[in-house]
């Protein structure tokens, strides 16, 4: 049958990409349908119940700055929050939350069900309606035709999914869910380049069978960090600790002795796995000289005994999994509640996409998430939001939008995918961004919320809170610039007490804040200085970071401006990169292989840093 209503945007798949895509399109006023296998699994975390971490929290905060759901749901579902790299610079600091799987999912479902313009429908999509290389709608596996202006495909690991445990394999989208085989076949008949990837998950454990006295406890941070710019600590459920266990030589012996029973080593799995999140058999095989690996024992939720042992993802047979788990101290009597497994699935070469995530060959069809060769909820959510907003813009007859590499990690992610493609599951790292100091997690709202508001993604409440924060930062920075500490004043005595040295001349509070040994709390409320320090931690943090890093930030902005001026500068095809002084061996090799035609193209090759581009520019000037 033909469904009676037409939609502007039809999203297939209610995982992390699909939910952000559907919410974004609906927020922009488009009539949106989210068609998914099972409404009960909306927002389900297929693997680790954790959000954020290095590079990934930047994406979560960008999604949040653009009005998305992931950060909000994390604050409602997070049961342990930490800031990683807290002692390092703000560019690489990253918030990570352990989530209660059930609470996170409930939060996502609540947001979806309360979103105006959004219709949910439970059924598998089996076919696309394509006419003259343009998508017109979707047909479900029971034959319902949904017509729409645009379609966003967010089917994750489900296309042609095959689950492996030891030498046994079954078809599945993830444990307990069916694969999408009809849709996979249909897509394979379209002119996209398709390949296989794989990922894996560890066995889950029953907490009652572990001896926690033998494990190292890892509590969350106090005060508890918050994920969303609209979130607050009071929303967090009860907080709990994680624990750390270790593999040992016995564990590694068991794995070595059973490698021939691993589908990865027997050749059964063809897909390439995530290099940065390898299975335990991969780690033991590749790093043969290491006698121990850390295993983070993470709670799956507040109302369950299940634990997620992060670090032992495996596709070894169950009997070997049990031996591996029980070889670790504190886990000698561990009971496995669910075996670990690996999954192989189809992904599509993201070089067949535009910056909007629309496919090049079928108009109005967008791809987002794991289907594009990425791994991770955050990478999926960020792409979903972008594809959803661009599908809505297309339906509204507007041009597409995508942030640049100097504006957002989302820009880095999409640019990497569509220009370089990927041969292994792609995950985000801060090292992938050239302008890390500009793209911090703490300033994602300052970078993106205004654009989000113009795009129609940001509601009034977020816009009001953001505008107030931005004004407060400007007001407080202006106060610090205009307030002076005189030598021999009471304020100068306070500075002397903190630094061991009295200021010899007058300094503004802003000058003092630039000093490494002083923080906002040290200078903002000095006696005799007019005005009060701000209460809002996020405002104080911004004022401090902007003061301390202004010099570096200005330098990065100059580099971007310089690069933009020289973007079109041609690179001679016969350029001998071995003769360019100052380039590393690796960069020379990458440039020689890729033979970019312009400086802009060279700058987009992963690993080619802004400094290397400057060296190339100088070299070209010398050649003239
Ligand atoms: P998914 O979250 O997979 O969601 C896809 C959704 O689409 C599901 O709701 C599904 O029901 C629906 N769907 C599929 N086909 C259809 C259809 N035809 N019709 C209707 N609905 C459909 N990430 C990491 O970062 N680290 C890891 O270690 C890691 N390990 C993983 C291990 C396993 C076993 C699995 C399965 C995933 C793992 N991931 C890991 C990946 C992480 O789960 C994904 O990156 C993330 O969930 C991708 O989000 P997505 O929205 O693209 O797809």
**358-376 pLDDT, tens per residue?**
999 999 999 999 999 999 9
What value does the mean pLDDT take over residues 351-357?
94
What value does the mean pLDDT take over residues 251-264?
91
Q: Residue whose CA is closest, atom 43 of ligand 1?
A: 46
Annotated binding-site residues read 13-18, 273-287
Question: How many other CB atoms are there within 10 angstroms of residue 291's CB atom?
Answer: 12
- How much is the mean pLDDT over the chain? 94
Annotated binding-site residues for FAD read 13-18
Whether 340 is in the pocket of ligand 1, judged by its Cβ within 6 Å, is no
Mutate to test the pocket of ligand 1, among 23, 42, 47, 298 (most ligand atoms within 8 A of CB): 47
Nearest 5°: phi and psi at 51?
Answer: -125, 140
**Global pTM value:** 0.92
- How far does Cα 304 stand from its chain's mean position? 27
Residue 563 predicted with pLDDT over 90: no
DSSP lists the bridge partners of residue 78 as 99
Whether 180 is in the pocket of ligand 1, judged by its Cβ within 6 Å, is yes
Nearest CA to 331 out of 213, 200, 201 is that of 213
How do residues 413-441 score in pLDDT, each as one tens digit? Answer: 998 898 888 989 999 999 888 888 999 99
CA distance 409 to 403: 9
Residue 11 predicted with pLDDT over 80: yes
| Nearest atom in ligand 1 to 124's CA | 19
CA distance 371 to 378: 14
How far is the centre of ligand 1, averaged over its atoms, from the C-alpha of 40 (Å)? 14
Secondary structure (3-state) at 243: strand
Q: Residue whose CA is closest, atom 42 of ligand 1?
A: 376
> pLDDT value at position 542?
96
How far is the centre of ligand 1, averaged over its atoms, from the C-alpha of 131 (Å)? 29
Secondary structure (3-state) at 427: coil
Secondary structure (3-state) at 484: strand
Question: How many other CB atoms are there within 10 angstroms of residue 290's CB atom?
Answer: 11
| Nearest atom in ligand 1 to 342's CA | 34
- Banded model confidence at residue 273, pLDDT cuts 50, 70, 90: confident
> pLDDT value at position 428?
95
What value does the mean pLDDT take over residues 496-517?
93
Residue 250 predicted with pLDDT over 90: yes
- Banded model confidence at residue 388, pLDDT cuts 50, 70, 90: very high
> pLDDT value at position 596?
87
CA distance 202 to 340: 4
Mutate to test the pocket of ligand 1, among 10, 14, 15 (most ligand atoms within 8 A of CB): 15
> pLDDT value at position 593?
86
Whether 602 is in the pocket of ligand 1, judged by its Cβ within 6 Å, is no
Residues sharing a CB contact under 8 Å with residue 371, sequence separation 6 or more, in sequence order: 17, 153, 154, 155, 156, 159, 346, 347, 348
Is the C-alpha dihedral spanning 302, 307, 311, 316 positive or negative?
negative
What six digits make up the tokens of 212?
A: 């926690």
Question: How many other CB atoms are there within 10 angstroms of residue 245's CB atom?
Answer: 25
Question: How many other CB atoms are there within 10 angstroms of residue 340's CB atom?
Answer: 24
Whether 409 is in the pocket of ligand 1, judged by its Cβ within 6 Å, is no
How do residues 141-197 score in pLDDT, each as one tens digit? Answer: 999 999 999 999 999 999 999 999 988 889 998 888 999 999 999 999 999 999 999
Whether 47 is in the pocket of ligand 1, judged by its Cβ within 6 Å, is yes
Q: Name the CA radius of gyration of the chain, rounded.
A: 26
> pLDDT value at position 603?
83
Mutate to test the pocket of ligand 1, among 199, 277, 374 (most ligand atoms within 8 A of CB): 199
Whether 280 is in the pocket of ligand 1, judged by its Cβ within 6 Å, is no
Annotated binding-site residues for NAD(+) read 273-287
Whether 12 is in the pocket of ligand 1, judged by its Cβ within 6 Å, is yes
Asked if 127 and 365 touch (Cβ cutoff 8 Å), the reply is no
Is the C-alpha dihedral spanning 306, 309, 310, 316 positive or negative?
negative
Half-sphere exposure of residue 5: CA atoms within 13 angstroms, side-chain side: 12
CA distances from 180 to 154, 159, 187, 195, 357 (A): 12, 5, 11, 15, 21
How far is the centre of ligand 1, averaged over its atoms, from the C-alpha of 155 (Å)? 7
Residue 607 predicted with pLDDT over 80: no
Asked if 378 and 428 touch (Cβ cutoff 8 Å), the reply is yes
Secondary structure (3-state) at 43: coil
> pLDDT value at position 585?
87
> pLDDT value at position 263?
85
Q: Residue whose CA is closest, atom 50 of ligand 1?
A: 156
How far is the centre of ligand 1, averaged over its atoms, from the C-alpha of 380 (Å)? 9
Whether 204 is in the pocket of ligand 1, judged by its Cβ within 6 Å, is no
Question: Percentage of the chain surpassing pLDDT 90?
Answer: 78
Whether 380 is in the pocket of ligand 1, judged by its Cβ within 6 Å, is yes
Mutate to test the pocket of ligand 1, among 127, 174, 375, 381 (most ligand atoms within 8 A of CB): 375
- Banded model confidence at residue 110, pLDDT cuts 50, 70, 90: very high
Residue 560 predicted with pLDDT over 90: no
Residue 275 predicted with pLDDT over 80: no
Residue 266 predicted with pLDDT over 80: no
Whether 41 is in the pocket of ligand 1, judged by its Cβ within 6 Å, is yes
| Nearest atom in ligand 1 to 368's CA | 52
Interface predicted TM-score (ipTM)? 0.97
Whether 375 is in the pocket of ligand 1, judged by its Cβ within 6 Å, is yes
Residue 131 predicted with pLDDT over 90: yes
- Banded model confidence at residue 14, pLDDT cuts 50, 70, 90: very high
What six digits make up the tokens of 184?
A: 């996979």
């Amino acid at each position: 049958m033909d469904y009676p209503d037409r939609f502007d945007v039809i999203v297939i798949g209610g995982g992390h990409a699909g939910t952000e895509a559907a919410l974004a399109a609906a927020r922009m006023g488009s009539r949106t349908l989210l068609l998914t296998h099972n409404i009960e699994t909306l927002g389900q975390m297929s693997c680790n119940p954790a959000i954020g971490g290095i590079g990934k929290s930047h994406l979560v905060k960008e999604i949040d700055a653009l009005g998305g759901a992931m950060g909000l749901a994390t604050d409602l579902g997070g049961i342990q929050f930490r800031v990683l790299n807290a002692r390092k610079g703000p560019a690489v600091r990253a918030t990570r939350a352990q989530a209660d799987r059930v609470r996170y999912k409930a939060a996502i479902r609540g947001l979806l069900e309360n979103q105006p313009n959004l219709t949910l429908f439970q059924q598998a999509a089996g076919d696309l309606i394509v006419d003259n290389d343009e998508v017109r709608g979707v047909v479900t596996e029971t034959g319902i035709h949904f017509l729409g202006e645009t379609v966003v495909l967010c089917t994750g690991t489900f296309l042609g999914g095959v689950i492996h445990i030891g030498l046994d394999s079954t078809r599945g989208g993830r444990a307990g869910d069916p694969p999408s085989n009809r849709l996979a076949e249909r897509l394979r008949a379209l002119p996209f380049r398709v390949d296989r990837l794989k990922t894996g998950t560890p066995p889950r454990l029953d907490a009652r069978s572990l001896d926690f006295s033998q494990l190292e406890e890892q509590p969350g941070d106090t005060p508890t960090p918050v994920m969303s710019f609209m979130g607050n600590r009071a929303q967090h459920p009860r907080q709990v600790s994680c624990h750390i266990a270790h593999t040992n030589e016995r564990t590694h012996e068991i794995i070595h002795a059973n490698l021939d029973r691993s589908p990865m080593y027997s050749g059964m799995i063809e897909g390439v796995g995530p290099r940065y999140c390898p299975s335990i058999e991969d780690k033991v095989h590749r790093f043969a000289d290491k006698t121990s690996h850390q295993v983070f024992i993470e709670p799956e939720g507040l109302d369950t005994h299940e634990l997620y042992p992060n670090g032992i993802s495996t596709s070894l047979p169950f009997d070997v999994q049990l031996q591996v788990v029980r070889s670790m101290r504190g886990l000698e009597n561990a009971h496995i509640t669910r075996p670990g497994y690996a999954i192989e699935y189809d992904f599509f070469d993201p070089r067949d996409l535009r910056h909007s995530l629309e496919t090049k060959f079928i108009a109005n069809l967008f791809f987002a998430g794991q289907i594009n060769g990425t791994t991770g909820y955050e990478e999926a959510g960020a792409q979903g939001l972008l594809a959803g907003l661009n599908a809505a813009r297309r339906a509204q007859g507007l041009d597409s939008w995508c942030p640049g590499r100097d504006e957002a990690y989302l820009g880095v992610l999409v640019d990497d995918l569509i220009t370089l493609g990927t041969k292994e599951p792609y995950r985000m790292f801060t090292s992938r961004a050239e302008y890390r100091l500009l793209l911090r997690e703490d300033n994602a709202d300052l970078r993106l919320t205004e654009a989000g508001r113009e795009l129609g993604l940001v509601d009034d409440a977020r816009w009001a809170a953001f505008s107030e924060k931005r004004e407060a930062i400007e007001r407080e920075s202006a106060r610090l610039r205009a307030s002076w500490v005189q030598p021999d004043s009471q304020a100068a005595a306070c500075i002397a007490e903190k630094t061991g040295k009295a200021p010899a001349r007058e300094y503004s509070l802003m000058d003092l804040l630039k000093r490494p040994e002083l923080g906002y709390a040290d200078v903002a409320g000095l006696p005799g200085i007019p005005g009060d320090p701000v209460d809002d931690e996020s405002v104080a943090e911004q004022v401090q970071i902007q003061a301390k890093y202004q010099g570096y930030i200005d330098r990065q902005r100059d580099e971007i401006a310089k690069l933009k001026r020289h973007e079109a500068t041609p690179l001679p095809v016969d350029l001998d990169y071995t003769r360019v002084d100052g380039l590393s061996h690796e960069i020379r090799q990458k440039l020689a292989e890729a033979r970019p035609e312009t400086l802009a193209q060279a700058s987009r090759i992963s690993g080619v840093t802004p400094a290397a581009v400057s060296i190339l520019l100088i070299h070209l000037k010398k050649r003239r």
